[in-house]
Amino acid sequence: MKLSRDQLIVLSKKSISNAKTLIEEAELLFQNKHWARTVFLCHTAGEEFGKSIECMSATMDLARGVIDWNKFWKRFLNHRDKTKAIDAFETFMLGDPDPLDVYFKKLNEKAKLLFQGRNATLYTAMMTDGTVFEPSDVITEQMANDSLSWAKGRLGLAEKIIIPVLDSKAMKASDEEVKKIYDNFTATMKDPKKREEFAAKLEDRLSAEQDGHSLTGHWRLRKNQSRL
């Protein structure tokens, strides 16, 4: 199934809206001490953010004439691919302790571990030593609290970066103008110095504009590599 640019933009926005609702519901679970399900909803919100990124990226690919709809729908429906999409977006926006080539080598394994962690919030299972556990045995209050902080930080990024892009004149521009925007952004991300400067300016701006989202905590968690 092929989509128009407008349809992709609506899908991207709706994904962010749903992620926000999931986070609100996760907060209710946290208040009632349901740690495991709090983490699960935060992880699911992350997948929705990843879906939003996939759709925004697809608008660029569509304008550039390089979109592969089979690959798009595969990523759109795959849990790990959506997790990788939001993690990679954060890395581009905020930076990462590892160089990009090292980061991408680790990304598949990271997504695998995150998905295993997601399953641990839902299902009874057995550890390698034979110990049987249910989610409440392994998911702690601190893990749930970190998950909420992480999810709110992602929501802050989505509302401050993704939605303004989706609402911008650029998304209504000609294919040729969209290509230029893509090329300029790609050039910035490929240059380590420019990417570092971009991330620093973004951090300063978002920290100054904080409006209730845990952006400062989000940066701290990411820089400490406290993965959920």
**For residue 212, what pLDDT is reported?**
42
**pLDDT tens, residue by residue, 68-95:** 999 999 999 999 999 999 999 888 877 7
**Closest of 135, 126, 108 to residue 40, by C-alpha:** 135
Q: Identity (one letter) of the amino acid at 21? A: T
- Token pair, residue 221, equals 């968690």
Q: What does the domain layout of the chain look like in residue ranges? A: 5-223
**For residue 214, what pLDDT is reported?**
46
The yes-or-no verdict on residue 196 having pLDDT over 90 is: no
Which range (73-77, 161-165, 197-201, 205-209) has the least confidence? 205-209
* Alpha carbon 67 to chain centroid, angstroms: 21
- Token pair, residue 184, equals 């300029």
Which range (5-14, 89-98, 149-158) has the least confidence? 89-98
Q: Are 66 and 182 in contact (CB under 8 A)?
A: no
pTM: 0.85
Confidence label for 213 from pLDDT (cuts 50, 70 and 90)? very low
The yes-or-no verdict on residue 208 having pLDDT over 50 is: yes
Confidence label for 228 from pLDDT (cuts 50, 70 and 90)? very low
Instruction: Please write down the HEC assignment for all residues of the chain.
Output: CCCCHHHHHHHHHHHHHHHHHHHHHHHHHHHCCCHHHHHHHHHHHHHHHHHHHHHHHHHHHHHHCCCCHHHHHHHHHCHHHHHHHHHHHHHHHHCCCCCHHHHHHHHHHHHHHHHHHHHHCCCCEECCCCCEECHHHHCCHHHHHHHHHHHHHHHHHHHHHHHHHHHCHHHHCCHHHHHHHHHHHHHHHHCHHHHHHHHHHHHHHHHHCCCCCCHHHHHHHHHCCCCC
The yes-or-no verdict on residue 192 having pLDDT over 90 is: no
Q: Are 31 and 144 in contact (CB under 8 A)?
A: no
Confidence label for 201 from pLDDT (cuts 50, 70 and 90)? confident
Arithmetic mean of pLDDT over the chain: 86
**Closest of 80, 92, 108, 105 to residue 56, by C-alpha:** 92
- Token pair, residue 37, equals 């399900």
The residue ranking higher by pLDDT, 71 or 205, is: 71
Which range (57-66, 119-128, 167-176, 187-196) has the least confidence? 187-196
**pLDDT tens, residue by residue, 84-136:** 999 998 888 777 777 777 888 899 899 988 888 899 999 998 888 889 999 99
